[in-house]
A and B are shown apart, each in its own frame.
Chain A
Amino acid sequence: MNYFWDLFLGGLTRGSIYALIALGYTMVYGILQLINFAHGEIYMIAAFTALIVASILTMQGLTGFSVLILAGVIAILYAAAYGFTVEKIAYKPLRQASRLSPLISAIGMSIFLQNYVMLAQTSDFLPFPNLLPQSEFLDSISAWIGPSDFIIIVTSSVVMIALSLLLKFTKMGRAMRATAQDREMAMLTGVSVNRIISRTFIIGSALAAIGGLLIASHVGRINFYIGFNAGIKAFTAAVLGGIGSIPGAMLGGLVLGLAESFGTGYISSDYESVFAFTILILILILKPDGILGRSSQQKV
Chain B
Amino acid sequence: MDLILDIKNLTMNFGGLKALDGVNLHIRQGEIAALIGPNGAGKTTLFNCLTGIYAPSSGDILLYQPGAKPKRLNGLKINTITSLGVARTFQNIRLFGGMTVLENVMIGRHARSKSGILGAIFRPPATRVEEKAIVDKSYAILEYIDLAPYVNELAKNLPYGAQRRLEIARALATEPRLLLLDEPAAGMNPQETRELEGLLVRLQADHELSILLIEHDMKLVMNLARNIFVLDYGEEIARGTPLEIRHNPAVIKAYLGEEADAEIG
State the A residues within 8 Å of B (CB): 166, 170-175, 177-178, 181-182, 184-193, 199, 202, 298-299
Residues of chain A with a CB closer than 8 A to B117's CB? 172, 199, 202
Known contacts A170-B120, A190-B174; A184/B98 CB under 8 A: no
B31: interface (CB < 8 Å): no
Q: Contact: B110 with A173, CB < 8 Å? A: no
- Max chain B C-beta neighbours (<10 A), residue from A175, A178, A298: A178
State the B residues within 8 Å of A (CB): 51-53, 77-79, 82-83, 87-88, 90, 94, 96-99, 103, 106-113, 115-117, 119-121, 123, 130-131, 134, 170, 173-174
Q: A81 to nearest B CB, angstroms? A: 13
Q: Contact: B77 with A189, CB < 8 Å? A: no
Known contacts A177-B96, A177-B98, A184-B78; A189/B111 CB under 8 A: yes
Residues of chain A with a CB closer than 8 A to B107's CB? 174-175, 178, 186, 189, 191
Cα–Cα distance between A35 and B103 once the two chains are bound (Å): 28
Q: Contact: A184 with B53, CB < 8 Å? A: yes
Residues of chain A with a CB closer than 8 A to B174's CB? 189-190
Contact among A170, A182, A192, A199 for B96, CB-based, below 8 A:
A182
Q: Contact: B98 with A298, CB < 8 Å? A: yes
Known contacts A178-B107, A190-B111, A298-B98; A171/B82 CB under 8 A: no
Q: Contact: B96 with A171, CB < 8 Å? A: no
Contact among B82, B88, B109, B120 for A173, CB-based, below 8 A:
B120
* In the complex, number of A-B residue pairs with CB atoms less than 8 Å apart: 86
Residues of chain B with a CB closer than 8 A to A192's CB? 77, 79
Closest residue to A182 on the B side, CB-wise?
A: B94
Q: Contact: A190 with B96, CB < 8 Å? A: no
Q: List 16 A-B contacts (CB under 8 A).
A: A166-B120, A171-B106, A171-B109, A171-B113, A174-B103, A178-B99, A184-B53, A188-B78, A188-B82, A188-B88, A189-B108, A189-B174, A190-B108, A190-B112, A191-B111, A192-B79
Q: B118 to nearest A CB, angstroms? A: 10
Q: In the A-B complex, list the 9 residue pairs whose CB atoms are closest, starting with the nearest.
A: A190-B111, A187-B78, A170-B120, A172-B120, A190-B82, A190-B110, A187-B79, A181-B96, A189-B108
Residues of chain B with a CB closer than 8 A to A173's CB? 120
Cα–Cα distance between A189 and B94 once the two chains are bound (Å): 11
Residues of chain B with a CB closer than 8 A to A172's CB? 115-117, 119-120
Cα–Cα distance between A208 and B170 once the two chains are bound (Å): 35
Cα–Cα distance between A184 and B94 once the two chains are bound (Å): 10
Cα–Cα distance between A174 and B131 once the two chains are bound (Å): 12
